[in-house]
Structure 1
Amino acid sequence: MQGRVDWARRFDHMQQHTGQHILSQACWQVLRAETVGFHLGDEASTIDLDVAGLDLGALERAEALANEVVFQDRPVRAAFFSEAEVAALPLRKPPAVRGEVRVVQVEGFDSSACGGTHVRRTGEVGPIAIVRVEHRGQESRVHFLCGHRATRDHRQRIRITSVLMAALTVGLGDLPDAVARLQEDLRAARKEAKDLRERVLDAETEALLAAAPQVGEWKVVRHLLPEGEATTLKWMAQRLTARPGVVALLALGGDRGQLAFACSEDIPLDMAALLREVPRAVGGGGGGGPRLAQGGGFAGARAAEALDLAWERLGQVGSSGNPTRRDG
């Protein structure tokens, strides 16, 4: 049997692991924050610090200190020490085991009990970059990159910001304000579009109501929208039945059919009972309350058939034992 070390992967892990030792010590010195967790990921690594609500300015100083140690190219040594020798070492945290312990030392900066792989000098770690911070209760999770990972991330950020700067015709320093203005413009445009849609729907519901046939004492609006959203269907049903004496039987076509049945408060019908009958006949389902019920789950091509069934069932309201009638 033969084994082969994947050197690129091994060296990447060595950079991240040694970088974690350096960053953890820097966070202790600058923030008095102890590392209580470490995860070496495939794309990014994290340390969990026992501090809530990190001061980001102080975290930047910790990052700067960590990189200064990298630039100083200090030796990194791993050796085994007896229990008595370990007791005399300035370990960042006490070891979890008794007896002989392997200790990794960054000369003059950090000593930690560790069994992992590490570089020989801090310069081999390469740049250390903090890329994200999460607040997790009483702890903070710091995402970081070292070495080749950090340089790849830097190149990607340069490419992205260059595209954005060119698209918005601004410099790097003006990019946040330009994005904020775009977001504000987008919010305003969405509100304007929403207002316009509502005005169009208002006009459409008024036209539907004006053309609706009178069935006894009720105006019955039966309408099929070839496409759209279920929220639009509900909105139209509620607008139509906000006035007295109106029944709305609305359907939405498209790939998946949708139904919205509604009636005014003064009409003694149970829309949920009606809706339970109709979608079942075309392969769907639904539910709701006496005044408004919605359904779907059937082929949009059968939406017109569903409306015809609802219209037919509504015409039987006066017959005895009709489940669609509410008690008055």
Structure 2
Amino acid sequence: MTKKLYHENVYLKEFTADILSILEKEGKYHVILDQSAFYPEGGGQPHDQGWIEDSEVEYVYEENHQIYHVVNIPPEKLIHAKCKIDWKRRFDHMQQHLGQHILSSAFDKLFDAATVGFHLGTEYITIDITLGNITKQQIEKAEYLSNQVIWNNLHVKQLYPDPETLKALPLRKQPKVTENIRIVEIDQVDYSPCGGTHPSQTGEVGIIKIRRWEKIRDTTRIEFVCGNRALKDYTWKNDQINTLSNLFSVKDQDTQIAVEKMYSENQTMKKDLKSMHDQLMVYEAKALYDQAEVSKTVRIIHRVFEQRDFGELRQLAAKIVSNPNVVVLFGTKDNEKAQIVLSRSSEININMNELFKEISPLINGKGGGNPQTAQGGGNEVSNLGSSLLAAQNIIMKRYLA
């Protein structure tokens, strides 16, 4: 079995090892070393990355007590091969993982809430706790206690207790294995079975910041960041607050008030604008209706618009055909697309869906509807006007002749 150097010295960044074997699987090479400081994926903690000589280690996993290091190119040197951990990645995982222990312990101590799920992602960490409903005050208490543990810079130990000693320890959760049980102790504050890597002092976590939380069935998912991730999270948020406070010419503490005020004013303006827009559409509908040519008591409105919003065009057509004895043939276009809406008053016996199917090939169009209203679009923009003219001619000759 591979000797696990990461349990002997979590700060070991470089080491030498002998390559015992190299297995090729699906174009990748799985390297077994006699000893390794590379942490394999497991227990919620992602795998380490790094190098074996010049071969980049992309993935590390453990199987049958052997640790496999997956590389694209097999190392040439088999004896005393130089190995190097991607320390930035490893230390980030150490900060986040110990932060999870600390935060889980805080929820357990304060609210008797156990951690039943843990995920260490590339940007955030989440834990699922057995607390269905949680308040902002409870979140703040757990966060405060967690950071006190960090700033007290408590010692972190790894224990391999015998069965009798294990029974006497106040474990926060029970181990999932029955042999070689490893307990991570935070200076009598927390005892948790874990095979991951953690700093030797809580102060190295730096800070824990809870970002958000959500209820998931009978549990609550807590999203948080630790250490350097927390610093990055604070940096972009601080940049945004400063930008907004400068835009509104207010103090950074007053940014939320300024944004809420602007949002409220914007909502009022949107309502006023919609009201005025609706009134204008009523006037436009009346003007088009009054100006329409009449054939045997039926008014036909045939119009092509440039870059008119299609949803707005449908509303305009609906307002017009609420009047009696009127047919609307509308089209709108931009550089890439032509769109058509055909509609009629309820008492006119013209199947607009069938009419649309008849003219839509002219614009290479697709769409449909019902006997009263049909709509669709196509990419033959230059034929939009002729397609509507064709629809008008069909109506005049077939239905109104």
| TM-score of the two chains, using structure 1 as the length reference | 0.93
- Answer yes or no: is the 8 Å Cα contact 2:304–2:332 preserved in 1: yes
Runs of 4+, deviation exceeding 6 Å: none
Q: Give the alignment of 1:42-57 within 5 angstroms.
A: 42-57=122-137
Q: Aligned partners of 1:140 and 1:317: how far apart in 2?
A: 67
Q: CA deviation at 1:41?
A: 1.0
Q: Helix, strand or coil for the counterpart of 2:398?
A: coil
Give the conservation status (yes or no) of the 8 Å contact 1:241–1:262. Answer: yes
Post-superposition Cα deviations, 1:202-230, rounded to whole Å, max 9, x if no partner, equal: 22222221221112221011011111211
Counterpart CA distance in 2 for 1:163 and 1:216 is 65
Structure-2 separation of matches of 1:50 and 1:275: 59
Shifted more, 167-176 versus 270-279: the winner is: 167-176
Q: One-letter code of the match for 1:136? A: I
1:84-130 residue CA offsets vs partner (Å, 9 max, x unmatched): 43222211111122222111111111111111110000001101110
In structure 1, the residue corresponding to 2:134 is in which secondary structure?
A: coil
**Equivalent in 297, 318, 326 of residue 238 of structure 1:** 318
Identical columns (%): 33
Q: Which runs of 5+ in 1 are unaligned?
A: 321-328
Deviations 1:105-162 (A, max 9, x none): 1111111111111000000110111011122222211111111111121122222111
Q: Is the 8 A contact 2:338 2:363 kept in 1?
A: no
1:171 Cα deviation from its structure 2 partner: 2.4
CA distance in 1, matches of 2:291, 2:400: 27
Question: 2:197 aligned to 117, 124, 133, which one?
Answer: 117
Say if 1:83 and 1:101, in contact at 8 Å, map to a contact too: no
**Conservation of the 8 A alpha-carbon contact between 1:83 and 1:100:** no
> AA paired with 1:166?
N
Aligned equivalent of 1:325: none
Letter in 2 for 1:118: H
TM-score, length of structure 2 as denominator length: 0.76
Aligned to 2:348: 267
Match of 1:79 among 159, 167, 174: 159
**Is 1:16 aligned to residue 106 of structure 2?**
no
Give the number of the structure whose residues are more often helix, by fraction.
Answer: 1
- 2:169 and 2:356 mapped to 1: Cα distance? 76
Other-structure match for 1:294: 375
Task: Please state if 1:95 is matched with 2:196.
Answer: no
User: How far off is 1:45 after superposition?
Assistant: 0.8
* Greater share of strand: 2
| More relative contact order, 1 or 2 (CA 8 Å, 6+ apart) | 1
Equivalent residue for 2:267? Answer: 187
Say how many residue pairs are matched: 320
2:145 corresponds to which of 43, 65, 69: 65
Partner SS state of residue 198, structure 2: coil
Q: How big is the shift at 1:319?
A: 9.0
**1:313 corresponding residue in structure 2:** 394
Gaps of 5+ in 2: 1-74, 76-81
